[in-house]
Amino acid sequence: DELDGVMNYPLREAILDLLEQKRSAEAIAKEMMKLRENYPLDFYLNSLNNIGTHDTKRVLTALGGNVTKVKRAFELLFMFPGVPCIYYGDEAGLPGETDPDNRRFYPWGREDHALLEHVRSLTAKRQAEPVLTKGELTLLAGEGFFGV
């Protein structure tokens, strides 16, 4: 009868804008809380959160090749309620502009192993810490800081 969730593109845009300082942390926090307030809880918790998809630039490219920012993007992705969805290759540092460039082959043997290991550790933390899957969302935002 209805969708159980959606691809959460607003979260992607918020994470990228926060890391690129395109919008204030306060504005992003308000937008994220608005999503929470406007979606039924089950719908919200089943949304597929992403920082990259077949419809977007690769996260590494979108963040100007800055691997540290990519790591922060993955950290935020794994902290938000919903289902973290990783587009193949983003965890390995695969670059790519918009379609069709974002559909390159997986970089077998050329992965960014530090990034890959970071994403693995986030996956393990999310599985080990119930607060990351069942906790309440609280956002702290001010000039120069953002916390989940």
DSSP per-residue string spanning 46-78: T-EEES--TTS--HHHHTTT-HHHHHHHHHHHH
| Residue-wise pLDDT tens digits, 33-92 | 998 888 888 888 999 999 999 999 999 999 999 999 999 999 999 999 999 999 999 999
pLDDT attached to residue 43: 85
Q: How far is CA 105 from the centre of its chain?
A: 21
What does pTM read for this prediction? 0.93
| Residue-wise pLDDT tens digits, 11-23 | 999 999 999 999 9
Q: What are the boundaries of each domain within the chain?
A: 7-147
**Cα–Cα distance for residue pair 111/134, rounded to 1 Å:** 32
pLDDT attached to residue 36: 87
Q: Which fold has domain 7-147?
A: TIM Barrel (3.20.20)
Rg (CA), the chain: 15
Query: Strands 145-147 and 140-142, how do they pair?
Result: antiparallel
Asked whether residue 138 carries a pLDDT value surpassing 90, the answer given is: no
pLDDT attached to residue 145: 75
Sequence-distant (≥ 6) Cβ neighbours of residue 11 within 8 angstroms: 32, 35, 47, 49, 50, 77, 80, 82
Length of the chain: 148
Mean pLDDT within 133-144: 84
